[in-house]
């Protein structure tokens, strides 16, 4: 059975096949000389168009350049499945120690039976229907089904990937909500598309500042990634880079009037390294930026959550391979492996502990809104080194609702006074609202509002021998906390109404 894909670019493919056929008549493909040993027959870019002969103890191994960090990879377009089959997922080899750099991917194919088969690969994004950027083809002649010593299926098995054991319980320990998504809290700017350029580092850098502005100022700003791509003096380009927050804080390229972000309208993205052509107008700046822990590691789930909660969406690195690029929905629980160990820059906008085996991050990509779930992904904690080299920017304090007061107590102090006390569990409240009820379930009435850090209040001018219920709520500009626990107390009875016989034994006992 032939595996033929019929994309929209069928006309272009047909013309390409015709050109290749004519070229073959003029220059017939030469047989690739085979080594005498069993195992892989290695092919590279220079072997394009050749005829390959495979013995039964040999398999095909292709090593081609690709940039998984831009979402591109090599995918089978034409192959006779009765003769050949692809083994496992493409492997990412030789990943440079920067984000967005092109690398080498290895694809393996095993003979299934004696026969002839074309092998045509297309370099493209799996979710797009556009014509591939380039193709690669060879003609394979197999002597028979593979019977070599290497167990290809076992070697191709994806490594077991599990969420960290502590992931399920660290939310309660950190005192954080079980879910947070800044896109639903305040909204997110539109998802961008880096195109066929390894500029994910620039999109991660600009994206976290855009979200900070959105959270703190309530407006959407489109910041220029091209400015970072074209004007940086670190040698970063479409061939890769690293977080460029310094250019939004203090670093000034030659010819520029100062640091800070440039607007997209002043320097539009073109997905290639055009000249900087200074100067540009600079608008948005940051006060500081920091790594959550270190540039060369993955912080704990609790540390990443705390950074997102305190500082808004964070820029992180991840290993992006074929599983990552083929994601179309749900929770990604089987990740990719990079030998560096990451290759792609993204943004984490939140988390949800109810997703996946132990919870998942809400990841924002820069591959356009047609990838994943409208440009976003749910990726399980601990998958694909997500969170590596995590950074956040500091522009102002994030507006969070305060947490609920704890340990509310009420005690009658006289015939007309009940005293309240509670524990302030927040550091960001503007004050506390105190409410009272006569039955603890209905007709709650506001009684008083006190300032921040206050932890006591007295209810006075009350009738004698009357029971009241109380609850307290913290508030700030972002909203109100949940209510505290309920506390109940009773004012003292009128002394003239007290049955002294009930108190005489106590008085006598205390006098001894």
Which residues carry out catalysis? 200, 344, 365
DSSP 310: H
DSSP assignment of 459-491? E-SPPTT-EEEEEEEEEETTEEPPP---EEEEP
Q: Is 126 exposed, middle or buried (0-12, 13-18, 19+ CB in 10 A)?
A: middle
All residues at 6 or more sequence positions from 313 whose CB lies less than 8 Å from its CB, including other chains: 182, 188, 207, 208, 211, 212, 347, 348, 349, 350, 364
**Conformation bin of residue 264: beta by default, left when phi > 0, alpha when psi is -120 to 50:** alpha
SS3 195: coil
Exposure string (b/e) for 155-179, b if CB count within 10 Å is 16 or more?
Answer: eeeeeebebeeebeebbeeeebbeb
DSSP letter, residue 288 = E
Token code pair at residue 225: 């990634």
Q: What is the phi-psi region of residue 508: left when phi exceeds 0, alpha when psi lies from -120 to 50, beta otherwise?
A: alpha
User: 3-state DSSP call for residue 142?
Assistant: strand
Residue 5 CB neighbours (<10 A): 13
Q: How far apart are CA 209 and CA 162, in angstroms?
A: 32
Residue in the structure block whose two tokens are 């066929």? 196
């Amino acid at each position: 059975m032939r595996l033929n894909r019929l994309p929209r670019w069928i006309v272009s493919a047909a013309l390409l096949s015709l050109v290749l056929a004519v070229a073959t008549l003029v220059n017939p493909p030469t047989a690739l000389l085979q080594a005498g040993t069993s195992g892989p027959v290695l092919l590279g870019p220079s072997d394009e168009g050749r005829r390959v002969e495979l013995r039964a103890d040999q398999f095909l191994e292709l090593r081609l350049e690709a940039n998984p960090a831009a979402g591109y990879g090599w995918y089978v377009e034409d192959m006779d499945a009765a003769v050949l089959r692809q083994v496992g997922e493409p492997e990412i080899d030789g990943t440079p120690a920067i984000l967005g750099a092109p690398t080498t991917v290895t694809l393996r194919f095993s003979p299934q039976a004696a026969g002839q088969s074309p092998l045509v690969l297309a370099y493209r994004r799996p979710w797009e229907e556009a014509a591939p950027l380039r193709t690669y083809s060879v003609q394979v002649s197999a002597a028979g089904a593979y019977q070599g010593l290497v167990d290809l299926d076992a070697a191709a098995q994806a490594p077991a990937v599990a969420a960290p054991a502590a992931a399920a319980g660290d939310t309660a320990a950190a005192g954080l909500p079980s879910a947070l998504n800044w896109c639903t809290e305040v909204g997110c700017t539109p998802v961008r598309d880096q195109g066929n350029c390894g500029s994910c580092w620039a999109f991660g850098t600009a994206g976290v500042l855009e979200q900070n502005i959105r959270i703190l100022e309530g407006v959407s700003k489109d910041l220029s990634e091209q400015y970072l791509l074209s004007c940086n003096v670190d040698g970063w380009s479409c061939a890769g880079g690293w977080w460029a927050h310094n250019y939004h804080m203090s670093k000034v390229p030659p010819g520029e009037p100062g640091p800070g972000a440039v607007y997209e309208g002043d320097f539009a993205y073109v997905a290639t390294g055009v000249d900087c052509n200074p100067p540009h107008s600079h608008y948005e700046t940051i006060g500081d930026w920091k790594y959550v822990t270190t540039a060369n590691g993955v912080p704990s789930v609790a540390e990443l959550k705390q950074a997102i909660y305190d500082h808004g969406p964070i820029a992180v690195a991840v290993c992006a391979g074929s599983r990552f690029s083929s994601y179309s929905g749900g929770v990604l629980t089987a990740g990719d492996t990079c030998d560096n160990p990451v290759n792609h820059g993204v943004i984490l906008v939140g988390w949800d502990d109810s997703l996946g085996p132990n919870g998942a991050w809400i990841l924002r990509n820069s591959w356009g809104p047609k990838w994943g779930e409208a440009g976003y992904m749910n990726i399980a904690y601990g998958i694909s080194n997500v969170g590596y080299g995590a950074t956040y920017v500091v522009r102002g304090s994030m507006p969070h609702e305060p947490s609920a007061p704890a340990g509310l107590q009420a005690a009658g102090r006289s015939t007309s006074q009940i005293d309240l006390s509670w524990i302030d569990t927040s550091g960001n409240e503007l004050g506390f609202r105190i409410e009272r009820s006569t039955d603890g379930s209905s007709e709650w009435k506001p009684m008083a509002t006190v300032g921040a850090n206050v932890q006591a209040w007295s209810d006075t001018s009350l009738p004698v021998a009357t029971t009241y219920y109380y609850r307290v709520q913290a508030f700030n500009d972002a909203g109100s906390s949940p209510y505290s626990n309920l506390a109940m107390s009773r004012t003292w009875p009128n002394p003239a109404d007290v049955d002294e016989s009930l108190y005489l034994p106590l008085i006598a006992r205390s006098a001894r």
